[in-house]
A and B are shown apart, each in its own frame.
Chain A
Amino acid sequence: MAIASETCGILPSAHLQRLLDTLSAKGYRIVGPIVRDGSVVWDTVRSVSDLPIGWRDQQEPGRYRLEQTGSQEVFGVVHGAQSLKQFVFAPREPLLQIERSKDGFATRPTLPQSEKVAIIGARACDLAGLTIQDRIFLNDAYRDPYYASRREGLFVIAVNCTRALSTCFCASMETGPRAKHGFDLVLTEVDDSLLIEAGSEAGRDLLSNLCLSTGSEQLSAEAARRIEACAQSQVRRLDHSRLPQALYDAHEHPRWDELAGRCLACTNCTMVCPTCFCHTVEETPDLSHQQSTHTRLWDSCFTQEHGYIHGKNVRPTIKDRYRMWLTHKLASWIDQFGTSGCVGCGRCITWCPVGIDVTEELSALLTQDGRSSGTPQQMESS
C-alpha cells in the first residue's frame, strides 16, 4: 500500500545525488559529515562521494576509531565530535566593532549574514540539542540576534539511527534514536533505499520537487523495526527519574573527590556537548587604541577564569568544576529550562581524553548516600 506522497517517499541510495542537486538548485550550501583525520567533521558536500560511504565509527570512553566495511552504506558513521552547535552558536563570533570618536566611542554590531545551509546527516540527539539551544538563545526576552541570524538559514536533513554506538543513551533520555521533530526532512537508510519523510513545509516542498516513488508500508515497517532495535541495543542509560533532587542531595558525595583525581579540567566535554552554551567575550584593540573588536568565544565551566568573580574564584578546584558541570547539566537545567541539559549523545564520554563517563558517574553518585562521606558498606551497617 502506498503512503501519501507529499510527506514520504523512497529514494534509492544510488540516487541520493538528486536530493543534493535539488538542494543546490534551491541555493543551499550542503554540509555533511566528511571523513577527516580519523573521524568525521561537518564540511561542504558537493557530491555524494564526499559522504563517508562504507565507513563506520566505533566509540568507547576516550576512544574513537573509523573502520571501513566495504559496503555501500552512506550513513554508517553515527557522528563525530561536532554536533549542530557550531552552525548557530559559533565558536568565535565577532559581536561589535568599536571605534573611538571625539566624545567617546561608537559601536557597530557585526551580525553574521544569514546563509542558506542544508545540513545532511544530523541525528536525533543533534536535533534535541538544537531544540534546547533554540530555547536558550531565542527566548523572547533575550533573543540573541547572532544566533537567530545563523539559525534562520538552516535546512536540516536528519538521519534516523539504526545502529547505536556503545556510548549512546538517547533512548533513556527519550530524545532518539528516531528524530521526532526539528527537521525539514528525515532519512532512514534501509539497505540500498532511503526512506524520506518531511517534517516541515520547506521539507514537503522539496520532497514534491523530487518526484519520488511513494513509500511502501513494508519499507516503513522495516525502518521502524530497525530504529526500535537500535533503541533496544543501547548499552548505556541514564536514570533521571530522581533528578534533579537526587543530585542536589549528592552535593557532598565522596565520589566528587575521586572524580577530581581523574578529570583534567580540559573542557572537551563541554566543547562537544550539543547543549553547553557558556561563552566569554574578548576585546581586541588595535595598537593605536582607536578600534576594537568585541568577540564572543566558546568558554567552559572547567576553566579557572570561569569561576572568577570580583576578587575571588568560586570554583578553584577540579572537584568544584566537575560538580558544577554535572549538577547543572543533569539537575539545575531542569529547574532553569524545564528540560535536562543532556540529550544522551555520548559525545562527552567518547571525547573525554581520559574517558570519564557521565552515566557511570551519575549512577555512582546516586547509589550511595550522598550526604555521607563514608563508604556504602559503612552506611549499610550503621
Chain B
Amino acid sequence: MAKLEAPRKRPRLAVIKFASCDGCQLSILNLEEDLLALGEALDIAYFPEASSAMNAGPYDIALVEGSITTAEDAHRILSVRQQAKVLITIGACATAGGIQALRNWADVESFKRAVYPNPEYIQSLSTSTPISEHVRVDFELWGCPIDKGQLLRVMTDLVGGVQPRVPADSVCLECKRQGHVCVLVAKGLPCLGPVTRTGCGAICPSMGRDCYGCFGPSEGARKGPGLPPNTTSLARHFHDELQLIPVEVLRRFRGINGAVDPFRNESTVWENKG
C-alpha cells in the first residue's frame, strides 16, 4: 500500500459515509482526548458527522464507512478512491457488506413494497457489497462497530510511516488472556469466538454472551496469509452437541459478516440440511 511520506505538513484526513448506521464514525468521536491528539497529528479536512467544514480532496487518508447499495454510491466510491492516497474501510459494512447484505439472499423489491408507500421512489441495488468489490482498498478494519483502539493504532502507524497491521487471531485468544469463563463450554452457548477475528477485546464473552462474529472470520478472511477458519467443525458442534437446528446454525453464520466467503459458504451448507 502507499506509504505516507515523512510528514512536512499534517496528513489530510477524510471520513466518508456510504450505506451504514454511523456507528463506526461515532467510534472516532468516542476517542475523546485521543481525538484531540488525532486532530493535532492530522488535518481533519472532511468529516461531516463531526464538523460542517467540508474541504475538498485530495486526501492523504480516507476512512470509508458503509457498503455500496445504490448505483449512485457505486459511482461515488470511484471518485473517493481517486482522491485518496490511502483508503481504509472502517467496519463490517464497508469491509464485508454489513448486516444489510442479508438482502443478497432476499428479494429487495418485496422489501421496498412492504416498507414504503411509494416504492417507486426508491433507487436501490439488489445487493449490498463491500468497498473492496468496487475499488482497491489499502487496509480494512473489521468490527460492528470498529474498535477505537485499533483505529487509533492504524492512524498512529500511518502518521509514523509504518505499515499498519492488526492481528487475525481468534477471539478466544483474547478471551482467555482476560480470564473469562468460556460461554460455549460452561453454558453451551453457540459462541463464534473460535472462528472470529480478534479486535473487540472479547466484549460479548465478558458479558456472559456468545460472540456473533461481528469482527468477521479470523484469519484468511478473503485473501492474504492464513486459512479460512474451520467453520465446518464449529457448525457441526453447534448442531450435534449444542442441539442447534440447521436454520439456527445457518443464522449464526449469516449475520453481520454473512457475506464474507468463509461465513457465507458455511451458511449455504446449512441451507440444504432441512
Contacts and interface: CB of A to CB of B under 8 A. Distances in A.
A353 B160 contact: no
B191 interface: yes
B interface secondary structure, majority: helix
Contact of B177 (A36, A297, A316): A297
A281 B156 CA distance: 18
B193 A91 contact: no
Contacts of B41: 287-288
A285 B155 CA distance: 11
B195 A264 contact: yes
Given A36-B181, A64-B186, A82-B179, A271 B234 contact: no
Contact of A268 (B152, B188, B194): B194
Contacts of B170: 264-267, 303
Given A91-B179, A264-B229, A266-B194, A287 B34 contact: yes
A234 interface: no
Given A264-B195, A287-B41, A351 B160 contact: no
Interface string A288-321: 1100000001111001110010000100111000
Given A264-B234, A353-B191, A304 B182 contact: no
Nearest to B226: A304
Q: Count chain B CB atoms within 10 A of each CB in A37, A64, A318 and give the residue with the most.
A: A37
B234 to A, nearest CB: 6
A286 interface: yes
B176 A268 contact: yes
**Contact residue range for chain A?**
35 or more
Interface string A203-231: 00000000000000000000000000000
A91 B188 CA distance: 25
B185 A298 contact: no
Interface of A: 36-39, 41, 62-65, 80-82, 86, 91-92, 260-268, 271-272, 284-289, 297-300, 303-305, 308, 313, 316-318, 350-351, 353-355
Given A91-B179, A266-B172, A298-B177, 5 more contacts: A38-B187, A82-B179, A261-B230, A266-B194, A297-B177
Interface of B: 34, 37-38, 40-41, 152-153, 155-156, 159-160, 167-170, 172-173, 176-188, 191, 193-195, 208, 219-220, 225-227, 229-230, 232-234, 237, 241
